[in-house]
């Protein structure tokens, strides 16, 4: 089993969700995040005081998949989240030892 994690631009979330459903992902977890990468921060001005704001708002998407489905899910996210502009985000995959569905106690791939 794999955990696919993606950090994307917030307004691409709807497109990514649709793409994930299209490739058969059965769930996703979404959280608000902030960070920086190659896209540097921006400037804000409050009452004449100028600030460099280091972090840009992003959305973190996490999807649990069976090993065989990981490549398709990554591909779907990359295509849906891409705007070809700096700050489009990243996708990475980590191995997962075990997964349990809390309601039923099912474990392993059945719990995905």
Q: What span, in angstroms and rounded, lies between the C-alpha atoms of 78 and 102?
A: 30
Contact segment (CB under 8 A) with another protein among 52-60, 64-72, 90-98, 101-109 equals 52-60
Contact segment (CB under 8 A) with another protein among 17-25, 51-59, 87-95, 99-107 equals 51-59
Residue in 21, 22, 26, 55 binding another protein, rule: CB under 8 A? 55
What CA–CA distances, in Å, run from 86 to 12, 26, 40?
14, 30, 9
Cβ-in-10-Å burial (0-12, 13-18, 19+) of 16 comes to: buried
DSSP 16-61: HHHHHHHTT----EEEEEEE-SSS--EEEEETTEEEEE--EEEEEE
Residue in 44, 67, 75, 106 binding another protein, rule: CB under 8 A? 44
Residue 52 makes contact with another protein by CB under 8 A: yes
Residue in 53, 71, 100, 107 binding another protein, rule: CB under 8 A? 53
Residue 67 makes contact with another protein by CB under 8 A: no
Shortest separation between residue 73's beta carbon and another protein, angstroms: 24
Binding site for another protein (CB under 8 A): 11, 14, 34, 41-46, 49-55, 57
């Amino acid at each position: 089993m794999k955990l696919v994690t993606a950090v994307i631009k917030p307004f691409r979330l709807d497109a990514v969700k649709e793409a994930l459903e299209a490739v058969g992902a059965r769930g996703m977890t979404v959280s608000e995040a902030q960070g920086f990468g190659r896209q540097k921060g921006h400037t804000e001005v409050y009452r004449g005081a100028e600030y460099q704001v280091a972090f840009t708002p992003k959305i973190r998407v996490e999807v649990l998949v069976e090993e065989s489905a990981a490549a398709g899910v990554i591909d779907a996210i990359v295509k849906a989240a891409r705007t070809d502009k700096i700050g489009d985000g990243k996708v990475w995959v980590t191995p997962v030892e075990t997964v349990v569905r809390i309601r039923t106690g099912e474990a392993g791939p059945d719990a995905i």
